[in-house]
Amino acid sequence: MTELLSVAQMRAAEAEAMRSGAATGLQLMERAGRGAVAAMLEEWPDLVAGRWRAVVLCGPGNNGGDGYVVARRLADRGWAVEVLALGDPARLGGDAAKMRALWTGPVAGLDEAGAGPRPGLLVDALFGTGLTRPLPWEAITAMRAVRDRAAGQPGERCRVLAIDCPSGLNCDTGRVDLPPSGDDAPEDAEARSHSAIGILSADLTVTFHAPKRGHYLEAGPGLCQRLRVVDIGLEPSEAPSPVEPPASGRVRLVGARSCAADLSGDLWPGQLLRPGAGDHKYRRGHVLVVSGGVGRGGAARLAARTALRIGAGLVTIGCPPAALQENAARLDAVMLRPLRDAAALEALLSDPRISGLVLGPGAGVGARTREMVGVALAARRGTVLDADALTSFAEAPEELFAQLHPGCVLTPHDGEFARLFPDLARRDRQTSRVDAALAAAARAGAVVLLKGVDTVIASPEGRAAVHVAAYGRSAPWLGTAGAGDVLSGMIAGLLAPGASAPQVAAEAAAWLHVEAARRFGPGLIAEDLPEILPAVFRDLGL
Ligand SMILES: NC(=O)C1=CN([C@@H]2O[C@H](COP(=O)(O)OP(=O)(O)OC[C@H]3O[C@@H](n4cnc5c(N)ncnc54)[C@H](O)[C@@H]3O)[C@@H](O)[C@H]2O)[C@@H](O)CC1
Ligand SMILES: [K+]
């Protein structure tokens, strides 16, 4: 399964290769530059034949060093190559200086970026993993000047190849560190930063050894557009088993199945979904969804139907007595019980066969929900808390954290996350969504699934995973009313048999949620998600 490395982990892998004598820094850089050219030509075979013009922008560190290798390799293919350097190339050090010396063509300054014919390729080798300060404006200006050379001219547009990452991307956080915009009015600054991100976006990003967290988080996928990983001969880290939680300190990419052929559907998520031979319905778990009152039951019904579809043996909705009639008119396989108050929930939970709980969707914000959550958590079943079950504790999150247990999964979106963890939501430059979710899980003592296009799943033991609806897995139509309720039902349904760790159940649910949306396609509404699950399961060969 693919692992997402931090910048520090990547540096450590490089350092280990050099320390052990497996490779020198210069060899790694040569492989990186060559690998980037080979990957680019595979991606754009129309560039294999013919002599094209490339502009290579080289920065002041090793990313620039890779750029000099790319320039040399393209020139060797007969391309016309312009190299423009940020800063004085005579001040390059180490391996980058050696690669600069092997480049026999001229090196101009970035201020000459606007002069010259339209290039077919712009290579961004300004900054990689070593960017520690905001990107200099001159980098953005130069990128724009090269792109502008193509404006208004006939022929193919200029394609952009980013080496390791589009310059400005923080490879740990996925955010872009833009320079301050001086005296600009705030609106102006926003417009400038918007257009700066457009200018920095690549068409293809080639990174080395393993993808970095920033390639998958926040602005990363939008900036990289397409991502290819090139082997530079570093020792691969041992692949964690997809059905076990990842090791502490390591971040895995959920659903590598669609990105690499190293994962069989049989093992994951199939192993979590397939009932055992001879299983009866109680062995497959019984999920109880606590519903809101009259006219507010839709969210709970969505969660309940999904829990049943994903494999729970039985599903019951508990609702206030006044809402029984409404729910009865809408339910068949899902069972229904009156649930007047927290005492009634306690009585219901005396049935030990109820193994999974969902609280929050449509529950209403306030004391009733807080009491229900308290009783549910005391019963120590696999429990998913979403929506109103989270917001009900906005005034006193510690009250919730004190009651949570390791069988719980919290599923906040960014807004709910900020209500429970206001300090963690205000992230500084170096803190990523992964760091924030890990800190939240440790504080809460439960698994936190932080929803988004880049969903992060983190456990109190420091295990983290990321699922991203991008890079060929985008499902923009999933942003629809009720989709979150469906996700709660998926997690509870996977938790209910009691065989999966909450972290693993949440990871599989995040993947299936997007998979179902993609299988259905545009026009999706939340009701379609549970109904398309059987087709997803058939595709998985279940
Ligand atoms: N170390 C290695 O063995 C390998 C490194 N590789 C390349 O090396 C890159 C990392 O190299 P570096 O660590 O040198 O980092 P970068 O080349 O990303 O940039 C760091 C350099 O820019 C300076 N800098 C940082 N922020 C700046 C700012 N805002 N304005 C001006 N200067 C700034 C730093 O002082 C440093 O000199 C990777 O992204 C990858 O492209 C590859 O060649 C693979 C092998
Ligand atoms: K770059």
Domain harbouring 150, CATH code: 3.40.50.10260
Calpha distance 192→370 (Å, rounded): 45
| pLDDT tens string 181-212 | 664 555 566 667 778 889 999 999 999 999 99
Report how far ligand 2's centroid is from the alpha carbon of 186 (Å).
Answer: 28
Q: What is the pLDDT of residue 245?
A: 74
- Asked, for residue 35, whether it belongs to a domain, the answer is yes
- Asked, for residue 249, whether it belongs to a domain, the answer is no
* Ligand 1 atom nearest 17 alpha carbon: 3
Report how far ligand 2's centroid is from the alpha carbon of 169 (Å).
Answer: 8
Cis peptide before 211 (omega within 30 of 0): no
Task: Tell me if 25 CB under 6 Å of ligand 1.
Answer: yes
**Which residue is listed with tokens 């394609």?**
159
Pocket test for ligand 1, best of 131, 137, 232 (most atoms within 8 A of CB): 131
| pLDDT tens string 265-287 | 567 888 788 777 667 787 899 99
Tell which of 239, 272, 302 closes a domain.
239
Considering the domain architecture, whether residues 386 and 449 belong to the same structural domain is answered as: yes
Report how far ligand 2's centroid is from the alpha carbon of 163 (Å).
Answer: 4
Task: Tell me if 67 CB under 6 Å of ligand 1.
Answer: no
Calpha distance 290→379 (Å, rounded): 14
Task: Tell me if 135 CB under 6 Å of ligand 1.
Answer: yes
Task: Tell me if 417 CB under 6 Å of ligand 1.
Answer: no
Considering the domain architecture, whether residues 400 and 471 belong to the same structural domain is answered as: yes
Report how far ligand 2's centroid is from the alpha carbon of 162 (Å).
Answer: 5
**Which residue is listed with tokens 């699934």?**
449
The string of DSSP letters for 46-114 reads GGTSS--EEEEEE-SSHHHHHHHHHHHHHHHTT-EEEEEESS-GGG--HHHHHHHHH--S-EEEGGGTT
Tokens of 190: 């926003």
The ligand placed nearest to the CA atom of residue 62 is 1
Query: Which residue's CA is minimally distant from atom 2 of ligand 1?
Result: 25
- Asked, for residue 272, whether it belongs to a domain, the answer is no
Report how far ligand 2's centroid is from the alpha carbon of 458 (Å).
Answer: 29
Considering the domain architecture, whether residues 199 and 302 belong to the same structural domain is answered as: no
Q: Can you state the angle between helices 502-520 and 528-539, rounded to 10 degrees?
A: 100
Q: What is the pLDDT of residue 277?
A: 64
Considering the domain architecture, whether residues 227 and 301 belong to the same structural domain is answered as: no
Looking only at the bridges linking them, the beta strands covering 159-163 and 408-410 are unpaired
Q: What is the pLDDT of residue 187?
A: 58
Q: What is the 3-state secondary structure (H, E, C) of 341-370?
A: CHHHHHHHCCCCCEEEEEECCCCCCCHHHH
Task: Tell me if 68 CB under 6 Å of ligand 1.
Answer: no
Report how far ligand 1's centroid is from the alpha carbon of 132 (Å).
Answer: 9
Considering the domain architecture, whether residues 176 and 318 belong to the same structural domain is answered as: no
- Asked, for residue 129, whether it belongs to a domain, the answer is yes
- The answer to whether the beta carbons of residues 447 and 489 sit under 8 Å apart is no
Chain centroid to Cα 427, Å, comes to 17
Considering the domain architecture, whether residues 183 and 321 belong to the same structural domain is answered as: no
Considering the domain architecture, whether residues 213 and 360 belong to the same structural domain is answered as: no
Candidates 142, 173, 174, 156; CA nearest to 67 is 142
The domain tally of the chain equals 2
Calpha distance 261→247 (Å, rounded): 22
- Asked, for residue 268, whether it belongs to a domain, the answer is no
Calpha distance 186→190 (Å, rounded): 6
Candidates 74, 125, 128, 126; CA nearest to 104 is 74
Pocket test for ligand 1, best of 20, 62, 129, 135 (most atoms within 8 A of CB): 62
Report how far ligand 2's centroid is from the alpha carbon of 128 (Å).
Answer: 5
* Ligand 1 atom nearest 133 alpha carbon: 29
* Ligand 1 atom nearest 132 alpha carbon: 26
Considering the domain architecture, whether residues 115 and 177 belong to the same structural domain is answered as: yes
The neighbourhood of ligand 2, an ion, using CB within 5 A, equals 124, 162-163, 167
Low-confidence spans in the chain with pLDDT less than 70: 1, 181-191, 239-240, 256-266, 277-278
CATH number of the domain to which 295 belongs? 3.40.1190.20
* Ligand 1 atom nearest 28 alpha carbon: 45
Considering the domain architecture, whether residues 235 and 378 belong to the same structural domain is answered as: no
Task: Tell me if 60 CB under 6 Å of ligand 1.
Answer: yes
User: Which phi and psi angles does 218 have, rounded to 5°?
Assistant: 45, -120
- The answer to whether the beta carbons of residues 205 and 129 sit under 8 Å apart is no
Tokens of 274: 């397939």
Chain centroid to Cα 297, Å, comes to 31
Task: Tell me if 163 CB under 6 Å of ligand 1.
Answer: yes
* Ligand 1 atom nearest 11 alpha carbon: 1
Task: Tell me if 1 CB under 6 Å of ligand 1.
Answer: no
Task: Tell me if 59 CB under 6 Å of ligand 1.
Answer: yes
Considering the domain architecture, whether residues 19 and 157 belong to the same structural domain is answered as: yes
**Core vs surface per residue 282-311: b (16+ CB within 10 A) or e:** eebbbbbbbbbbeebbbbbbbbbbbbbbbb
Task: Tell me if 129 CB under 6 Å of ligand 1.
Answer: yes
Report ipTM for this prediction.
Answer: 0.97
- Asked, for residue 437, whether it belongs to a domain, the answer is yes
Query: Which residue's CA is minimally distant from atom 4 of ligand 1?
Result: 29
Query: Which residue's CA is minimally distant from atom 16 of ligand 1?
Result: 130
- Asked, for residue 483, whether it belongs to a domain, the answer is yes
Calpha distance 178→342 (Å, rounded): 51
| pLDDT tens string 473-483 | 999 999 999 99
Considering the domain architecture, whether residues 223 and 303 belong to the same structural domain is answered as: no
Task: Tell me if 29 CB under 6 Å of ligand 1.
Answer: yes
Candidates 260, 256, 198, 232; CA nearest to 39 is 232
- Asked, for residue 251, whether it belongs to a domain, the answer is no
* Ligand 1 atom nearest 126 alpha carbon: 17
Considering the domain architecture, whether residues 319 and 222 belong to the same structural domain is answered as: no
Query: Which residue's CA is minimally distant from atom 25 of ligand 1?
Result: 131
Query: Which residue's CA is minimally distant from atom 24 of ligand 1?
Result: 131
Calpha distance 384→315 (Å, rounded): 14
Domain coverage including residue 478: 256-261+281-539
Residues annotated as binding site? 62-66, 124, 128-134, 164, 167, 299, 362, 413, 451-455, 484-485
First to last CA, the chain: 20
